[in-house]
Amino acid sequence: MTEWLNVILQGVLIGGLYAMFAAGLSLIFGVMRLVNIAHGDLIVLAAYVALMVTQTLGLDPLTSLLLVVPAMALIGYALQRLLLNRTLGDDLLPPLLVTFGLSIIIQNGLLELFTADSRKLQAGAIEVQTFQMMEGVWVGALPLIQFIVAVAVIAGLQMLFYRTALGRAFRATSDDQAVAQLMGLDTRHVFAMAMALSLAVVAIAGVFLAVRANFDPSIGPARLIFGFEAVIIGGLGSMWGTLAGGVILGVSQAVGAQIDPGWQLLAGHLAFLAILAVRPQGLFPKVSG
Amino acid sequence: MSQIASKVEHSTRSSRIGIVLILATLAVLALAPFWGDRQTLRLLAEMYAFVALASLWNLLAGYAGLVSVGQQAFVGFGGYLLFWLVIVAGVHPLVAILIAGPVAAIIAVPVAALTFRLRGAYFAIGTWVVAEVFRLLASQISVLGGGSGISLPAAMVISMAPTRQAREFEIYWLALALTVIVLAAIVALLRSRHGLALTAIRDNELAAQSNGIGVMRIKLIIYVLVAFGTSMVGALIFLQKLRISPDTAFSVNDWTAFVIFITVIGGIGRIEGPIIGTIIFFAMRQTLSDLGSLYLLIMGAVAIVVMLWAPKGLWGLIAERYGWQALPLQRRLVLTPKENAGRKP
């Protein structure tokens, strides 16, 4: 019994990480209907940026966020302004294929710079600290911090969306780009801000990913898929939905792995396909699309 | 009043020249075993497979607007089905290729039922998830070596043809024939009533729908047909390789990234595009492959540049500049005044 409780708890906590993968994806889809195929590779890129920062400056991974987050946000702004804005329009193909090309460029660029060796960020003593929740149920400090950060990130995005001028600009361009432009919004800037924000979240997710497990340049696409599954399970356009989606995905994987290690990823995918079959709009839908 | 007769013509002067050139090229290629060495044959057979895969993806994405990044699901499915049929069920490899098509088409129906619920770019990632599920399931099949894969037993290989040379010729002609059949089927489809509907969907989905085209039905038909063809090509690819593993069979790089690159460079939404694209892709690969991962990086960059600044690809540029078409696919209304006896002076 407690064994299963442990499994489910681990699943919930890793679900927080998946929710962070998903939140960045969901944000840019919501604002500009762009699905970024390179999203997973950008998460891995953030992990490598954190690796360089921690190695050269001797910072611990969580402190390195102070540098990695703005750096990734800057990359996001530039990427959108210089490249991705050109792809937006009625046609579906350009954004899809350009981000697909970007994914290949990032993967092979990282491979060229850092080789295919697995890396990991060392967080020191905090990595092995655990709390006992109840008899036989233990929680690691790091997964717990990661989950709390995920909840905070989602709450922060939610606030930003509904309480700030930038959020209003996001919602306005999301509703009607042409009218938003008529009201004096520079949509190119708004889109670039959305991508900057998305990559700021990606940076946090990348650092936690890198502390939690080994990473190498090839693992990006799988992170994209996890994020995407969490978005669809949760329902398009709903921030809190992505958290629910991430948790469901995490728990499915944990339960699958408990049954048979070979079933970890498969169980997650099957949970996603089951939701798609039964409730294609996701659990907490907001926009159709 | 003079009466005007109208008829729809497919061919143009360039397409008539094109047909002659294509037939001549085919004749030369069919005789390749007599003029080419082993290396050339292998390379050509590989190129045929990519022409077929890219043409099928082009039909799916370029015409039907179904941008899938998960076609490796069907390449791998065809490969695995062939290995299973040959090793476990003792079926002759050539028969196994024929079986791979219809079985994949049947599998494609429930896959479409699920993935068609996702729209646009989310459909793309949905197809990728399906391919991942196929890969993970394949690595659970222990009779086919699980995660590490399996080679085709020597006895089965010899059963195809007694000598290595005869086998290589056989596979070469098979690859050529399959690609010609795939291309001919696509041309026939595009020239049919459904093809007209498909071209309308390509140009404007909403307008097509409002003109009474059952867009979803046609998309489903195309998805299933493309799965049929892709799976047969996949079976042939792994028959040639003689070895299969989940990672090679369901590789997103080999069967989707390269295929998309080929189609985009050559010209998406045009039948000639994938052929031109394959030639460019292989030329790049032969010259740049020493660069390792840098070569893939260049490929990604070239694809982005083409997509942004020449979205119709190389053939699109040529076709627009000179009005060429290599295959008679356009429909042109030809108006000729009818001979009218009563009005003759």
Which tens digit of pLDDT belongs to each residue from B74-123? 999 999 999 999 999 989 999 999 999 999 999 999 999 999 988 877 89
Give the Cα separation of B156 and B240 in Å (integer).
13
For the question of an ipTM over 0.90, the answer is no
- Tell me how close the Cα of B8 comes to any Cα of chain A, in angstroms: 30
A288 in any annotated domain? no
Task: Identify the pLDDT of residue A288.
Answer: 44
For A228, which of B125, B252, B299 is closest by C-beta distance?
Answer: B125
Size of interface A-B (CB pairs under 8 A): 118
| Helix or strand (DSSP H, E) at A93 | helix A93-114
Q: Which amino acid is at A268?
A: G
Question: Each residue of B27-38: pLDDT tens digit?
Answer: 888 888 888 888
Specify burial of residue A182 (Cβ count, 10 A radius: 0-12, 13-18, 19+). exposed
Q: Looking at beta carbons, which residues of chain B come within 8 Å of A105?
A: 297, 300-301, 304
* Interface check A259 vs B, CB under 8 A: no
Give the Cα separation of A241 and A112 in Å (integer).
37
For residue B284, the Cα-to-chain-centroid distance in whole angstroms is: 20
Crossing angle for the helix pair B164-191 and B13-30, to the nearest 10 degrees:
160
A189 in any annotated domain? yes
Task: Identify the pLDDT of residue B259.
Answer: 93
- Tell me how close the Cα of B296 comes to any Cα of chain A, in angstroms: 7
Task: Identify the pLDDT of residue A254.
Answer: 95
Question: Each residue of A35-83: pLDDT tens digit?
Answer: 899 999 999 999 999 999 999 998 889 899 999 999 999 999 999 999 9
Give the Cα separation of A288 and B7 in Å (integer).
45
For B300, which of A86, A101, A280 is closest by C-beta distance?
Answer: A101
Give the Cα separation of B270 and B312 in Å (integer).
9
Give the mean model confidence (pLDDT) for residues B191-217.
83
Rounded alpha-carbon distances, angstroms, from residue A157 to A34, A153, A160, A238: 18, 6, 5, 11
Cβ separation of A266 and B133 shorter than 8 Å? yes
Q: Where are the domains of chain B?
A: 51-250, 261-323
A125 in any annotated domain? yes
Specify burial of residue B216 (Cβ count, 10 A radius: 0-12, 13-18, 19+). exposed
More confident residue, B2 or B300: B300
Q: Which domain holds residue A51?
A: 2-278
pLDDT score of B272 more than 90: no
What's the CATH code of the domain at A263? 1.10.3470
CB B274 within 8 A of CB B261: no
Give the mean model confidence (pLDDT) for residues B183-208.
85
When pLDDT is cut at 50, 70 and 90, the band that residue B326 belongs to is low
Q: Looking at beta carbons, which residues of chain B come within 8 Å of A232?
A: 118, 122, 126
DSSP, residue by residue, A105-168: HHHHHHHHHH-S--B----GGGGT-EEEEETTEEEEHHHHHHHHHHHHHHHHHHHHHHHSHHHH
For B297, which of A100, A105, A280 is closest by C-beta distance?
Answer: A105
Taken in order B227, B230, B236, B239, the sign of the CA dihedral is negative
pTM of the model: 0.89
Provide the β-strand partners of residue B8: B333
A191 in any annotated domain? yes
For B297, which of A94, A96, A108 is closest by C-beta distance?
Answer: A108
Share above pLDDT 70 across residues of chain B, in percent, rounded to a whole number: 91
Task: Identify the pLDDT of residue B222.
Answer: 93
A284 in any annotated domain? no
Q: Looking at beta carbons, which residues of chain A come within 8 Å of B114?
A: 273, 276-277
* Interface check A94 vs B, CB under 8 A: yes
Q: What does the mean pLDDT of chain A come to?
A: 90
Cβ separation of A266 and B299 shorter than 8 Å? no
Our count of domains for chain A comes to: 1
Task: Identify the pLDDT of residue B345.
Answer: 47
More confident residue, A26 or B338: A26
When pLDDT is cut at 50, 70 and 90, the band that residue B327 belongs to is low
Copy the structure tokens of residue B72. Answer: 């490796």
Q: What residues contact B28, with CB distance under 8 A and at least 6 apart?
A: none
- Tell me how close the Cα of A34 comes to any Cα of chain B, in angstroms: 8
Give the mean model confidence (pLDDT) for residues B216-221.
90
- Tell me how close the Cα of A111 comes to any Cα of chain B, in angstroms: 7
Cβ separation of A112 and B136 shorter than 8 Å? no
